Chain A
């Protein structure tokens, strides 16, 4: 780690020590919650009320304000998991392991949301709940990848080992995601089913775009809050016999 300047390295090690991180998370969560609401409320107001009705899709297009940000998050979180997996494997950083495994259910949740809202949007637009559209299909496969990570972590009893296994799996998965994505896209152009042109280029107006971006950032902040909550739990589980947890218990009880 010699190529990282000493002060930065020291900063990381201090922040990454479990008690310090736990306290830091507690301090950040209220601010993040305020920020989340500041983004969510105008985002929802702009998306559901201000934005004009789409001339082709009517009001059903308003699902876009959760569908698209959720789809973005599903990919973003998986990539982030792989990055943390790499950090966990190279530097044996406990906190990266905790962040990796705490992210998995949140990412799976976003993937699930993207699938269900896509299906609910598809029903009025395409006439069926499910089409083997390229994006829906790759999203489904992404959900399988998330579930693989979660179940592998659950199956290995030793949590240090489980974290290493999951890190390897996340890295392997992230290399495969573009391959899977492009092969599904290619496969889809061969078996072009019902037309998807309606959803291909929603001629997006600025009054529709702003709420979309607000919602996208709001989802990112939500991820940060949920991740910190999950990481706090995971840290307590792992370090339940450590001194800092005992101090914490004495303070609260």
Chain B
């Protein structure tokens, strides 16, 4: 089997497994909606206030939803031993790991795009900000999965890895949060967002190139 074939085989396998457990797929999505719902209840339902807070609220919630779903990235494979099989494969582990991350993003990151308009509606985000919100979600949620993968790989062997995972990963998410929410914010007031989108794009490309290697190294450490 060539490397590309192995890459696609991993994605196909993970997607198949995810579809067998459809109920679990909905959890991060539900979490995302519920966190956003909490904000009007906590700060009051003044439309002006909600509208100014909307980009930040949506992005903080997306970040937390991504964080919550991360644990599933390697956990089940670690427990049933298929992670060890992956390490034994003759192919480059970084590429195989990248396949797993892509599959994971398709299952947990992509659905956020579908639910985002509903949340924008809840918070009264102007319609002209919608395309930017989508664009930031498309560009930045993969970054969250890629960076998060390093954290999961480091903590997957631990019994209580979840708390440490958030401590490791959240500081690294800060640049994404800053640029993504600012882009949506500017789009809501009708300002150009090219600079922010370009920065997010470069973050995406950088993390695509740079993160699989440490993730693979960390997995080797966790499994042995």
Contacts and interface: CB of A to CB of B under 8 A. Distances in A.
B164 interface: yes
A190 B195 CA distance: 14
B126 interface: no
A126 to B, nearest CB: 22
B182 A176 contact: no
Interface stretch (B3-11, B15-23, B93-101, B172-180): B172-180
A231 interface: no
B66 to A, nearest CB: 17
A245 B50 CA distance: 64
A183 interface: yes
Interface string A164-185: 1100110111011001100110
Given A152-B154, A190-B182, A169 B175 contact: no
A175 B222 CA distance: 22
Contact of A152 (B164, B172, B178, B224): B164
A179 B173 CA distance: 11
Binding site of B, secondary structure by majority: helix, strand, loop or mixed?
helix
A109 interface: no
B155 interface: yes
Nearest to B210: A175
B88 interface: no
B140 to A, nearest CB: 12
A168 B210 contact: no
A147 interface: yes
Interface in A146-161: 147-148, 151-152, 155-156, 161
Given A172-B172, A183-B178, A156 B157 contact: yes
Given A155-B158, A183-B178, A190-B182, A89 B171 contact: no
Interface in B162-214: 164, 167-168, 170-172, 174-175, 178-179, 182, 203, 210, 214
B221 A144 contact: no
Contacts of A184: 174, 178
Given A171-B214, A172-B214, A151 B171 contact: no
A187 B182 contact: yes
Contacts of B224: 161
A76 interface: no
A144 B160 CA distance: 19
B218 interface: yes
A183 B158 contact: no
A141 B155 contact: no
Contact of A179 (B157, B160, B175): B175
Contacts of A161: 157, 221-222, 224
A89 B160 CA distance: 25
Contacts of A169: 150, 154, 168
A27 to B, nearest CB: 35
Nearest to B169: A148
Given A155-B160, A175-B210, A183 B172 contact: no
A210 interface: no
A148 B151 CA distance: 10
Contacts of B175: 176, 179-180, 183
B217 interface: yes
Interface of A: 89, 141, 144-145, 147-148, 151-152, 155-156, 161, 164-165, 168-169, 171-173, 175-176, 179-180, 183-184, 186-187, 190
26 contacts: A144-B171, A147-B167, A148-B164, A148-B168, A151-B167, A152-B155, A155-B155, A155-B164, A161-B157, A164-B221, A165-B222, A168-B154, A168-B221, A169-B150, A169-B154, A172-B172, A176-B172, A179-B203, A180-B174, A180-B175, A183-B174, A183-B175, A183-B179, A184-B174, A186-B178, A190-B182
Given A175-B210, A180-B174, 8 more contacts: A144-B170, A155-B158, A156-B158, A168-B218, A171-B214, A173-B172, A186-B178, A190-B182
Ranked 6 nearest A-B pairs via Cβ: A183-B175, A144-B171, A164-B221, A148-B168, A187-B178, A183-B178
